Structure 1
């Protein structure tokens, strides 16, 4: 079972690992696209990057970090990404066996396993990054079918917890997907937005720690139910986490 998480815009600074080596990353079939994206992102002047990345002057340091993609220190991907989902996941407390079940979607790297070493960077799934030829294709166009092929090659079930923008970079037809809904006082449902990541982080932790991996959507629902969560199955591969 591989649980694929969405990335976060915020990244932890620093690191103690060696500089980026694409050969050290999982899913080597993605390396040709990774190489192009790293080169294009690192070549983007900071002033231009602010506009391309859609960030303000206050986040200049994040655009500057892209200039050092090849020279800055790395840390495991699961520790590089920060925010609500990763707080709920609490990766530092997970054993190695649980971490081996985790992956993270990425605009820059396609998909990473939890312990893949990466530098700090800023690039989102909705960015149109200028290339060496002057064009600025979408991330979806850049990745083509590469991410789908990489995830389809995984042995066992893929549980895809990525957000829509990152699922677009490489869908897997056989993957189990999960939406989060809350129950209103009148009994109607509402899709959770603000705390969506927190609940997905909690679910990912439960699945990663399960003694027996799930092999289908029903198995995912069963593991969640054993942890006190309410999960409904609507089709062969679609689940709803009710909070």
Structure 2
């Protein structure tokens, strides 16, 4: 089983740690494209229109400035750098040590800067979204799609892929739809089902935590994933259609 997460928009800088070493990240074949994006981000972040290129406001100017020297910034494991609603709900620090090791092996984070990361890969805090178009790369989702498909297809093999990514990050890699379930979250109000956003992040984090903590054999098929999800939520599984994978719908009560 692989659990795919989006990165958080906000990141927590490491107070101390080693400098960036691309060779320590998962997927060594991504070394060259990572170096290219790293260089392009530094150049874009030092330009006069950096905030506009990166699509951020003036309050994030310090984070944009940090982008210009990421090769010297201290690094920490990805699960500590990425923070926010989903990561708080997953609660990595409170997991037992053996479950943390399982998370390190099971969780992949999609990233506009790194392509894809293992959960324990050491990285600096940065500011970059997959929707950004850098002059040297074009739109990053399309750039990464051409580089991620081969390595991630091989890495995933026939494993079940639990896809908790947002649509922006899902565009960078399309896993085998027969072995993948995209996680959607709905609420029911006045008998009507509605898509939720904030609580979707929280619930996806809770689902990841549940899958890591539960005892017994981990789910290996979308149908087994449905059964695992139904241990905690009302859930349904929609079959794949074309390149669209299974849809695991979690329904939150009023």
Shift of 1:33: 1.1
Tell me, yes or no, if structure 1 residue 3 matches structure 2 residue 3: yes
Deviation track 1:57-111 (CA, whole Å, cap 9, x = no partner) reads 2111110110111001001111111111111111112232233211111111111
- Where do 1:12-51 residues align within 5 Å? 12-44=12-44, 45=46, 47-51=48-52
Q: Which moved more, 1:42-51 or 1:170-179?
A: 42-51
The answer to whether 1:240 aligns with 2:249 is yes
Does residue 235 of structure 2 align to residue 231 of structure 1?
A: yes
TM-score (norm 1): 0.92
Contact 2:235 2:249 in 1 (8 A): yes
1:222, 1:144 → 2: CA distance? 31
The residue correspondences of 1:163-202 to structure 2 (distance < 5 A) are 163-174=166-177, 175-185=180-190, 187-202=191-206
Residue 145 of structure 1 aligns to a residue whose secondary structure is: helix
Superposition CA RMSD, Å: 1.5
How many correspondences in the alignment?
237
Are 2:120 and 1:115 equivalent residues in the alignment?
A: yes
Shift in Å at residue 46 of structure 1?
Answer: 5.2
**Structure 1: gaps spanning 5 or more residues:** none
CA offsets, 1:5-42, max 9 Å, x none?
A: 11111000224331111111001222221110001112
> Which structure: greater helix fraction?
2
Taking structure 2 as the reference length, what is the TM-score of the superposition?
0.88
Structure 2 unmatched runs, 5+: 241-245
Offset at residue 188 of structure 1 (A): 2.0
Where 1:205 maps in the other structure, the secondary structure is: helix
**2:243: which partner in 1?**
none
Measure, in 2, the Cα distance between the counterparts of 1:29 and 1:213: 29
CA distance in 2, matches of 1:79, 1:219: 30
Q: Is the 8 A contact 2:89 2:206 kept in 1?
A: yes
Displacement, 1:194? 2.5
Secondary structure of 1:18's partner? coil
Worse overlay, 74-83 or 94-103: 94-103
Give, in angstroms, the shift of residue 229 of structure 1. Answer: 1.4
1:53 is displaced (CA, Å) by 0.9
Query: Residues 4 and 110 of structure 2 are in contact (CA less than 8 Å); yes or no, is this contact kept in structure 1?
Result: yes
Alpha-carbon contact 1:3-1:208 (below 8 Å) kept: no
Tell whether 2:212 aligns with 1:208. Answer: yes
